[in-house]
């Protein structure tokens, strides 16, 4: 393709599409086209070019998260996850001093509370992302968050407004045994066996 204004300068199809539709809309359209299995060679080629473009402009994984519109959709569709994982892998290869991972990117993008709900829901349908709930629990234990702390600090629920049902209560019910096991384990290590 050639630019009408500058006929001597070739313009890529990707540049034309980005100019016409914008980077964010194009990223979303490519993911949608990939989901529907349309013109896979073209879609994969354009998506590969777009990922390279983002890499060359040093776009962070957090920015790619926003461009793929995860937050608005609130769901983790596999084509979006695959695109995100692909980008993170390429980003980590190109910028080894700025390593990131999918867990950190999703937690940062959604916010810890919403991400905890998504990870917990993934567990119910045996989704591969269900392992992220365990990662969240380990992070909370490391921060020394009690179940009540999780309600207040992660879900922003006041002590007087504790949920009687709902996903937050379900998450706390799953977290409590992990928390108390870790607490008991830490106490056992501190006390240690007595010597006679």
Q: What is the DSSP string of 97-118?
A: GG---HHHHHHHHH-HHHHHHH
Q: Which tokens belong to 53?
A: 């473009």
pLDDT reported for residue 34: 74
Measured in residues, the chain has a length of: 196
Nearest alpha carbon to residue 65 among 28, 30, 36, 120: 28
157-177, pLDDT tens digit by residue?
Answer: 987 777 767 899 999 999 999
Residue 1 has pLDDT above 50, yes or no: no
For the chain, the average pLDDT equals: 83
Burial class of residue 74, CB neighbours in 10 A (0-12, 13-18, 19+)? exposed
| Mean pLDDT calculated for residue range 93-104 | 96
What pLDDT score does 43 carry?
A: 77
The answer to whether 115 touches 136, Cβ cutoff 8 Å, is yes
Backbone angles phi, psi at 190, to 5 degrees: -70, -45
* Choice among 44-58, 161-175, 177-191 with the minimum mean pLDDT: 177-191
Cβ-Cβ contacts under 8 Å for 71 (sequence gap 6 or more)? 65, 109, 110
Torsion region of 156: left, alpha or beta (phi above 0 gives left; psi -120 to 50 gives alpha):
left
Rg over CA atoms, the chain: 22
**Overall average pLDDT of the 91-119 stretch:** 95
pTM for the whole structure: 0.77
């Amino acid at each position: 393709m050639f630019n009408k204004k500058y006929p001597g300068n070739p313009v890529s199809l990707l540049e034309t599409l980005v100019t016409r539709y914008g980077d964010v809309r194009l990223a979303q359209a490519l993911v949608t086209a990939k989901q529907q299995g349309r013109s896979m060679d073209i879609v994969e080629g354009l998506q590969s070019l777009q990922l390279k473009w983002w890499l060359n402009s040093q776009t962070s994984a957090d920015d790619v998260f926003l461009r793929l519109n995860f937050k608005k959709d609130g769901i983790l569709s596999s084509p979006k996850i695959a695109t995100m994982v692909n980008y993170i892998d390429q980003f980590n290869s190109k910028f080894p001093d700025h390593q990131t991972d999918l867990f950190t990117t999703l937690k940062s993008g959604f916010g810890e509370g919403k991400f905890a709900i998504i990870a917990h829901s993934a567990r119910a349908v045996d989704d591969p992302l269900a392992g992220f709930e365990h990662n969240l629990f380990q992070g909370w234990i490391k921060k020394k968050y009690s179940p009540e702390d999780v309600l207040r600090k992660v879900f922003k629920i006041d002590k007087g407004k504790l949920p009687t049902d709902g996903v937050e209560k379900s998450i706390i019910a799953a977290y409590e045994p992990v928390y108390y096991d870790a607490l008991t384990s830490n106490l056992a290590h501190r006390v240690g066996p007595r010597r006679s």
